[in-house]
Structure 1
Amino acid sequence: MGTPCSPPPASDSAADSSAEFSLRRIAVAAFGPSLLFGIGEGAVLPVIVLMARELGASVSIAALVVGLVSIGSLLSNIPASLITARWGERWAIVAAGLWSALGMAICMLTQQLWLFALGCLMVGMSQAVYNLARQSYLTEAVPVHFRARALSTLGGVMRIGMFIGPFIGAWAMHAWGLHAAFAVGMVGVLCAAAIGLRVPDLAAPSALPGQAVPTEAPSIAGILRAHHQLFLTLGLGVLLVSAVRASRQVVIPLWADHLGMAPAAASLVYGLAGAIDMLVFYPAGRLMDLKGRRWVAVPSMLVMGAAMLLMPLTSTVTTLLLAAMALGFGNGIGSGLIMTLGADHAPRHARAHFLGLWRLAADLGSSLGPALLSFLAGSLSLASGIACIGLVAWGAAAALARWIPPAKR
């Protein structure tokens, strides 16, 4: 059974001196691809449903095609761990960029709906490989007392890219048509792959003092057996966190539509919530490093739960905006949380295999959250569904408070 570990908070001076050196050395290679990959994907994701409709898909089929991105990521977490373990983080990042660009090229050039759907599936597959490789790399490359800040920054930079991407894609579509968004996406992910080539290779992990180097090659089944209790406890909390986070992307536009708000006003509310989300990732990561993971994990879910419970009570643009900004704040302070918890518990000699399973649990939650909201909204009401997701968030807070190990002092 895996032994939970939580990195001790270090003194500010000691932590910052060595950490800043490490981060300065890998900053462009580590965070540059994340920004560009986010821009590339952000440019194409809003356009997928429009392209599918243009190719003759019905509304339901177009929604399914959009879902193929998430399905591709979900199904590729375990293969991504094997690819990263076999070829290393650097080449996994490069391969993910090339595979995503190929998928986007298929989407841009084809006139066949099934080929377009295949391209969307490939984009989702590349997400899994890229996300696991970047997380695995920083887990090993960054000192443990700076880990949460590094991974929170990684998540925050990706969100910034996803925020910028749609604007660049909209500009390109205005100038050259709908297909131009995929050209922007290809440029973004190919530039991410090019910068990924600069990622320094990591040395093979050595045994910690007092520990022997494992003689057997790691396997997915072996990691699952060794850490099954962790996955059934803290892993369940991670699944709930992902379910709440994925639901938040649907909740704001749905409730805005329920209130009869104009699309422009709904987009403004969504955008401002996203802006708050992007502003708080680094302070939250610093707090996790200095005080422990619980100090951010539990408040993040409590705030998101409260915002979800209050949202059905809103009736104007102002009150909805306040609830949406609270939702964005709660989500923003949790940036990098799931990656950090996975990094804390990943065994050094089977890091990629463990993180593949960890990301699988998170992606399952991301798939189940909107599905649960849809079921509750259909069987009860939209307000009841949103409120129930708020209760799920508070359940996630309780799970994280119970199973995140306390920081060592």
Structure 2
Amino acid sequence: MNDSSFSLKSIAISAFGPSMLFGFSNGAVLPVIALSARETGASPAVAGLIIALIGFGSLGANIPAALITSKIGERWALLGASVNTIFAMLLCIFANNTVFIAIAALMIGISTSVFMLARQTYLIDAVPIYMRARALSTLGGVNRIGMFAGPFAGAALMHFIGLPGAYVVGIAAIVAAGLLAYTMPELKAKQQARAVPADKPRMTYVARKYAGVFMTLGTGVLLISAMRASRQIVIPLWADYIGLSAASTSIIFGISSAVDMLVFYPAGKIMDQWGRIWVALPCTLIMGLSLLAMPFATSTATFIGVAMLLGLGNGFGSGINMTLGADSSPEIGRTEFLGIWRLITDVGTSAGPFLLSGMTALVSLGAGITATGMFGILSAAIFWRYLPHTRSGMKSHKD
């Protein structure tokens, strides 16, 4: 699309509404899934493992999600993911065995993979390339907003009806997301493409053809994902290490998340107007340097400052992984490419906390955080080497 009069407002509800509602739903239920597992008799260790299954469900579903979305289209993929999530939450409400909670966690992870891939594919087709970064950073931003607000709504209803209240909120939000997905318009470009039959490239062919991109820029986004996942563990662990209370830790984490949400649209605008590297470098360097500084934050004031910087770096990179994937993806085989791309980012999301835990066990918490901070320096070096340094260098594959 090259229409210079295009406005994101024209597709805001259909494009971003389902993502915000899906994030709101996940935000409502993710904090209580471990509690549901405990109610069925799971130990704290098993409850933690069940939470990890959400990430593994998303990781394992990326390739199948790409194939399914490519075959049935974004609208029906979103509807299927919505229905799957509703069943998962009902399973959590009525489960009397830990196994059912584990199955539900896997189902939620699968739905997350399908949902994010379908939204990304839709926006790549719906938005002209000169606004692509703003669209994808907004997609990441509205999901963050939903994840931030969801726990408060879940807690409010839990006050009246107990633990099931969070799942009721989640189901209501997912139903609304599914209805929005059902009413979203089919894109003319999609309709025209379907009128001309074309052989879809195999996933293995796409993986081989674009192996260079996956090995270079893919490594960069893998490292970003590892830092982002570790950030959610680093803040509470270091707060505990310096002796802060649980309430203080929650407030500081909330402040960091609020800073995170403030900068997603400016970051997207910078990417569109100046080039991707002008966000990729600040994102990775701010996050990396913040993590490197964390072991020196031994007072409440310095800890708050570092946590806010970490949130700023994370928020500044909102949509960067999706934007780089969109720029690198071909028109023919795009969904297959993005499935592999999401697989790479989810590997980083899953591996980051494990690497942090391993270094902490072998050396110390400070050493683990420092090692994680080095990911930011390494990813910045990768982006400096392989990303265009000017806006004119940006392009999207056409073959």
TM range (shorter): over 0.9
Please list the CA deviations of residues 261-292 of structure 1 after superposition, one character each: whole Å capped at 9, or x if unmatched.
11010001000000000000000100000000
Count of residue pairs the alignment pairs up: 389
Residue aligning to 2:397: none
What are structure 1's unaligned runs of at least 5 residues? 1-6, 8-13, 208-212
What's the CA shift string for 1:50-77, capped at 9, x where partnerless? 1111111111111111111111100000
Code of the aligned partner of 1:48: I
Of 242, 265, 282, the match for 1:282: 265
State the alpha-carbon separation in 2 of the partners of residues 217 and 155 from structure 1.
Answer: 28
Q: For 1:142 and 1:67, locate their aligned partners in 2 and report how far apart those are by CA, in whole Å.
A: 34
Distance 1:87 1:325 in 2: 42
Partners of 1:78 and 1:401 in 2: how far apart? 29
1:241 maps to: 224
The 5 Å alignment of 1:23-34 reads 23-34=8-19
Q: What fraction of aligned residue pairs are identical, expressed as a percent?
A: 49
Q: Are the equivalent residues in 2 in contact too, given 1:310–1:323 (CA < 8 A)?
A: yes
Note if contact 1:148-1:286 (Cα within 8 Å) is conserved in structure 2.
Answer: yes
Partner of 1:63: 48
Question: Which segment drifts farther, 85-94 or 324-333?
Answer: 85-94
Cα distance in 2 between the residues matched to 1:384 and 1:404: 30
Q: Does residue 252 of the first structure (1) align with residue 235 of the second (2)?
A: yes
Q: For residue 180 of structure 1, report the CA deviation from its aligned partner.
A: 1.3
Residue 115 in 1 paired to residue 105 in 2?
no
SS where residue 204 of structure 1 aligns? helix
Q: Are 1:303 and 2:289 matched, yes or no? A: no
Q: Is this contact kept in 1: 2:276–2:391, CA < 8 A?
A: no
Does the 8 Å contact 1:205/1:349 carry over to 2? no
SS at match of 2:186: coil
Q: Within 5 Å, which residues of 2 pair with 1:317-336?
A: 317-336=300-319
Separation in 2, partners of 1:373, 1:214: 48
2:5 is aligned to 18
**Structure 2 residue 164 is matched with structure 1 residue 163:** no
Pairwise mapping of residues 41-120 of structure 1 onto structure 2 (< 5 A)? 41-120=26-105
Alignment partners' CA distance in 2, 1:109 and 1:353: 36
Worse overlay, 302-311 or 194-203:
194-203
**For the Cα contact (< 8 Å) 2:274–2:391, is it kept in 1?**
no
Of structures 1 and 2, the one scoring higher in RCO (CA 8 A, sep 6+) is 1
> 1:204 is matched with which residue: 190, 193, 198?
190
Q: Is the 8 A contact 1:280 1:332 kept in 2?
A: yes
Q: Does the 8 Å CA contact 1:205/1:348 hold for their aligned counterparts?
A: no
Partner of 1:349, secondary structure, is coil
The whole-number CA distance in structure 2 between the counterparts of 1:375 and 1:314 is 22
RMSD between aligned alpha carbons? 1.6
Structure 1 segments (4+ residues) deviating >6 Å: none
The residue correspondences of 1:149-188 to structure 2 (distance < 5 A) are 149-188=134-173
Q: Of 103, 110, 117, which residue of structure 2 is paired with 1:132?
A: 117
Cα deviation, residue 136, structure 1: 0.4
Residue number in structure 2 paired with 1:10: none
Per-residue Cα deviation, 1:219-278 (whole angstroms, up to 9, x for no partner)? 111100110111111111111111111111110000001111110100010000000000
Q: Unaligned 5+ residue runs, structure 2? A: 393-399
Is this contact kept in 1: 2:25–2:150, CA < 8 A? yes
For 1:168-215, what per-residue CA distance to the aligned partner results, in whole angstroms no more than 9, with x for missing partners?
A: 1111111110121111111111110111112211233879xxxxx995
Alignment partners' CA distance in 1, 2:30 and 2:382: 32
